[in-house]
Amino acid sequence: MRYSPLLALALALAVGGAGLVASSESIAQNAREVRQTAEASMTLGGTIDIGSEGQVTGFALSHADKVPADLAAFVTRQVQAWRFEPMRVDGAAVATQTPVILRLVQQPDPSGDGAQVRVTGASFAKYDPDDTSRVTFIARPAPVYPKDVYAMRGRGDVLMLLKVARDGSVADVFTEQVNLRVVGKERQMRAMRDALARASESAARTWTFRPPTSGPAKDAESWNVRVPVSYSMGEPRMERYGVWEAYIPGPRERASFSGARVDASAAPDLLADGGLYMADQDDGPRLLTPLGS
């Protein structure tokens, strides 16, 4: 979808609001460089009705009044064209309904005219702390905001992959990606990503979990879960609904955990802060339509 140049405004805010850059000359240099890599994302929720053959029979976008009409229409067209693997109960294909969180990404159009919008991620997971078939939190002390990052008004989102042992402790932790919502020199941004990753991992090693006691995953030797952490300096995430947020995507790294599955569509801003998501088992229906086209 070709869209109006909202991204240009978002990028201007991302570049101008950083407070990390030392001079007007370096601001200009960073602005030119960052426009080649920066993106803007938006997450939207909704409900999908799926027919017995895996076709989408209905889609309701949550809080549609907060979303521009043309963008809401684009998202609806995209979802209605999806196909799922049919859901089966006792071997028979059945109709079903699923919640969905959608991640939209806006990037500059190569032609220089506006921007291109794509649906790059879809999560059908809904964290339920009372679900005994999944890993759930027992204790999750919050990470400490790194002082140097806070002093620079640094903001970002971290996506971690944790290996949870059978006793509920964290056997290993790995940061898959850190997206920053400020701009600075390359070394400053690298240091900021490292600081946010270290703070997140340090906190995660103290977390405790309740292993699944029912369902197909209950006898596993360990479980891999994804946990997002947001460093936003007190900005309420609920107020971001339907709003484009500019960010500088960090490199996507792969954990060495045995059996850990790489999910290219997972992103720090797709999964809701405060939840955790099983990385080695499907959540909800299986989407067959490729995303991002």
For position 158, what pLDDT does the model report?
Answer: 94
Whether residue 11 is found in the same domain as residue 142: no
Could you give the percent of the chain with pLDDT greater than 90?
Answer: 46
For residue 50, being part of any structural domain is answered with yes
pTM of the model: 0.81
Inform me whether the pLDDT recorded for 18 exceeds 50.
no
Whether residue 104 is found in the same domain as residue 177: no
Q: Which of 95, 123, 151 is the last residue of a domain?
A: 123
Q: Which of 74, 101, 123 is the last residue of a domain?
A: 123
For residue 237, being part of any structural domain is answered with yes
Q: Which domain holds residue 52?
A: 2-123
For residue 131, being part of any structural domain is answered with no
DSSP category for residue 84: B
Whether residue 108 is found in the same domain as residue 12: yes
Four-residue CA torsion sign, 165, 171, 176, 182 = positive
The amino acid at residue 243 is V
Whether residue 160 is found in the same domain as residue 82: no
| Least confident span in 24-33, 133-142, 198-207 | 24-33
For residue 293, being part of any structural domain is answered with no
Q: Residue 45's closest CA among 228, 263, 245, 272?
A: 272
The amino acid at residue 95 is A
The phi, psi pair for 77, rounded to 5°, reads: -65, -40
Whether residue 74 is found in the same domain as residue 142: no
Inform me whether the pLDDT recorded for 15 exceeds 80.
no
Whether residue 118 is found in the same domain as residue 159: no
Whether residue 81 is found in the same domain as residue 212: no
Grade residue 4 by pLDDT with cuts at 50, 70 and 90: low
Q: Residue 100's closest CA among 282, 242, 270, 239?
A: 270
For position 23, what pLDDT does the model report?
Answer: 38
> What is the total count of domains within the chain?
2
For position 16, what pLDDT does the model report?
Answer: 39
Q: Which residues pair with 229 in a beta bridge?
A: 158
The answer to whether 122 touches 102, Cβ cutoff 8 Å, is yes
For residue 30, being part of any structural domain is answered with yes
Encode pLDDT of 157-213 as tens digits: 999 999 999 999 999 999 999 999 888 778 888 999 999 999 999 999 999 999 999
For position 289, what pLDDT does the model report?
Answer: 93
| C-alpha distances out from residue 131 to 134, 187, 286, Å | 6, 43, 20
Per residue, the 3-state secondary structure of 86-145, as one string, reads: CEEECCEEECEEEEEEEEEEEEECCCCCCEEEEEEEEECCCCCCCCCCCCEEEECCCCCC
For residue 155, being part of any structural domain is answered with yes
Inform me whether the pLDDT recorded for 5 exceeds 50.
no
For position 128, what pLDDT does the model report?
Answer: 83
Encode pLDDT of 211-241 as tens digits: 999 988 899 999 999 999 999 876 655 566 7
Average pLDDT of the chain to the nearest whole number: 83
Whether residue 102 is found in the same domain as residue 140: no
For residue 292, being part of any structural domain is answered with no
Q: Which of 123, 154, 186 is the last residue of a domain?
A: 123
Whether residue 208 is found in the same domain as residue 230: yes
For residue 39, being part of any structural domain is answered with yes
| Contacts for 217 with CB less than 8 Å, ≥ 6 apart | 133, 134, 135, 223, 278, 281
Whether residue 150 is found in the same domain as residue 187: yes
Average pLDDT over residues 267-273: 74
Whether residue 184 is found in the same domain as residue 244: yes
Whether residue 111 is found in the same domain as residue 156: no
Q: CATH number of the domain that 251 lies in?
A: 3.30.2420.10
